[in-house]
Amino acid sequence: MLKIYSISCQRIAFIKCLFRTLFTAMFVILISCSKDHRNEREPNTFVFVTYDDVKDWDPGTAFSLEVLPLSNMYELLLWYDATGDDPVFIPGLATSYKQSPDGLQWTFQLRKKVKFHDGEDFNAEAVKFVVERNKSLGRGASYIWNVVRDVRIDNSHQVTFILNEPAPLDRIVSSQYGAWMYSPKITDIPEDSLRNGYDGGTGPYRLKKWIRNGEIRLEKFDEYWRGWTLQNAFSNVNIRVVSEASTRIQMIKNNQADYVTQIPIQLLSSLQDVKDVKVEILPGWVNHFYLLNTKKYPTNDINVRRAIAAAFDRESILRYVYKDVATRPVGFIPATVPLASSPDSLIEFDLNYAKHLLNKADLPDESPEIIFSYVATSEEYHLTSLMLLDNLRKIGINMRIQPGLWSAIWEKAKYIDTAPNIISMAWWPAYASPSDWLYGLYYTQNPPLFNLAHYSNPVMDSLIAEAWKNEAFHPKNAQNIYKEIQNILIEDCVAIPVADLQIWAVYNSKIHGIRGNPAYNTLLFYNLARSG
């Protein structure tokens, strides 16, 4: 018997240990909840707290959350300023540009005396190098350069882009992905170093240190060509990855963070009265929608997809989950994007109709199961999943919810075997055009990058291409084609639009210089300063 009890004692000790750990954890939480005493943060360090990390440091291929650090480390030939009523282009690494009357040749004067962080000079060679390298890599947003046939070096600081067909190249070079100018020295960098953090830009900040899934430290680039004249500008930026929303809230409340992203919208009201915390709604070109897998059973059946769309209670979600931050979508493209048009109508919430559609589908399963995948860091997706789960149950579809980190569910969604039937998606454009949404999401891709509906329709492909061609000189035509395309998307029920989002910036009220430019889903630290 002795032996037995000694074993039991071990177990009990273990349980005790567990309880102790739990209590310690609670204690730690309590401490962190209480007023923070550790305010000795460096005054000239800006702390930005986000929910997920950079996956790709290569400026030629990065195409996701990387926009935040990279848009501060790299620069564009032109910036697209969409803050006013009439969008304008602001000189970046190009001081001026002009296009030939036929729109096939675009000549850019490049800024002189600009150096990359690695000491190389920025010049015409570099521009040509970037465009050609991005095109040859063929990943990420490299498609923006498809229209460019050649980059001609006129002199050391002048290049001419020669296009296959007329296109708004000013918008392409101001794209928020795939258009960053970086040092040709990148070819000397081994793959490993690229993966472990790389910086070859001209921007105001350079990469100091990267702790994977922990934090990204940026420091100011002293030789930045614009100079450092702003008083109290930040010489260091700390981008921290914190996946728990409640922790991010605590950090902004306790002055451990200057700016936090992805705060559950339902909780914004509780932050409004907190001292030193400012909640501001800024214009954005981000929309939320759900892609329906067109290849995977049972959503390969169009009636099942339509039934799901009809069971989607968009109005409640908008009213109670997205609240004031979002507006009702008119189509698959945010309404304020230049040249955006809308389809004739969206599929409206109607459970009886959904049931009718499901009966039409004539599935072998009595109650089919569909898999719903969403980015777990978003409370909005989570609540939407509960709504859809309830409604689909009512029409006889079992829905299985698979929340996960974006990088994980994205990877799974690329392959039919592991793909979910429905996947949450937030999209912000590389460049300001409806075609960015359409090309990125619905153009035939094999293997898919963001076409996670696995949608493939030759008519759609050619229409997207045609609309793009028309944008520069026949915008009305383009707009009409975009309407036609969206009608097809409604007809084929490839996606369910949910919300056109604005940016809900939650930041320390002492921070100045935050302004929303919907064309870039980022924050430019160079313009920021702390008062007081």
Partner 1 sequence: MFSSINIFGLKRSIFLPGLFIFALIVASLLIPGLSPYSEDIRGAVHFEESNLSPSFSHYFGTDAAGRDIFTLTVRAALTSLGIGFGVVILAMFIGTPLGLIAGMKGKWIDEIIMRIVDGFLAFPPLVLPLIITSALGPSINNIVIGIAISWFPWYVRIARSQAIVLKNQDYVLASRSFGGSSTHIILKHILPNSLPPIIVQASIDAGYAILVAAGLSFIGLGAHPPQVEWGLMITQARAHFLDQWWTVTFPGLFIFMTVISFNLIGDGLRETLNLNNREE
Backbone angles phi, psi at 259, to 5 degrees: -155, 135
Query: To the nearest whole angstrom, how small is the minimum distance from the Cβ of residue 244 to partner 1?
Result: 7
Residue 235: CB atoms within 10 A of its CB come to: 15
Listed residue (446, 460, 441) closest to 287, CA to CA: 441
Query: Is 244 an interacting residue with respect to partner 1 (CB under 8 A)?
Result: yes
> CA-CA distances (angstroms) from residue 343 to 17, 255, 301, 312, 333?
60, 45, 22, 18, 10
Angstrom distance (rounded) from CA 277 to CA 167: 44
Q: Which amino acid, residue 106?
A: W
Residue showing tokens 């084929």: 492
Query: To the nearest whole angstrom, how small is the minimum distance from the Cβ of residue 378 to partner 1?
Result: 9
Q: Are 150 and 132 in contact (CB under 8 A)?
A: no
- Which string of x and - marks every residue 22-51 that binds partner 1 (by CB under 8 A)? -----------x------------------
Listed residue (70, 90, 55, 68) closest to 180, CA to CA: 70
Strand partners for 372: 401, 422
Select 1 or 458, whichever has its Cβ closest to partner 1: 1
Query: To the nearest whole angstrom, how small is the minimum distance from the Cβ of residue 7 to partner 1?
Result: 6
Q: Are 111 and 224 in contact (CB under 8 A)?
A: no
Angstrom distance (rounded) from CA 307 to CA 324: 28
User: Exactly one of 31, 112, 276, 320 binds partner 1 (CB under 8 A); which one?
Assistant: 320
- The window from 66-74, 387-395, 414-422, 513-521 that contacts partner 1 (CB under 8 A) reads 387-395
Q: Which amino acid, residue 167?
A: A
Size of the site for partner 1 (CB under 8 A): 41
Query: Is 360 an interacting residue with respect to partner 1 (CB under 8 A)?
Result: no
- The window from 121-129, 317-325, 425-433, 507-515 that contacts partner 1 (CB under 8 A) reads 317-325
Query: To the nearest whole angstrom, how small is the minimum distance from the Cβ of residue 258 to partner 1?
Result: 20
Query: Is 319 an interacting residue with respect to partner 1 (CB under 8 A)?
Result: yes
User: Exactly one of 316, 327, 444, 509 binds partner 1 (CB under 8 A); which one?
Assistant: 316
User: Exactly one of 153, 189, 241, 389 binds partner 1 (CB under 8 A); which one?
Assistant: 389
Contacts of 356 (CB under 8 A, 6+ apart): none
- Which string of x and - marks every residue 261-290 that binds partner 1 (by CB under 8 A)? ---x-xx--x--------------------
- The window from 63-71, 133-141, 153-161, 394-402 that contacts partner 1 (CB under 8 A) reads 394-402
Listed residue (137, 173, 116) closest to 61, CA to CA: 137
* Interface contacts to partner 1, rule CB under 8 A: 1, 3-5, 7-8, 11-12, 14-15, 18, 33, 244-246, 249-250, 264, 266-267, 270, 316-317, 319-321, 376, 379, 382-383, 385-387, 389-390, 393, 400-404
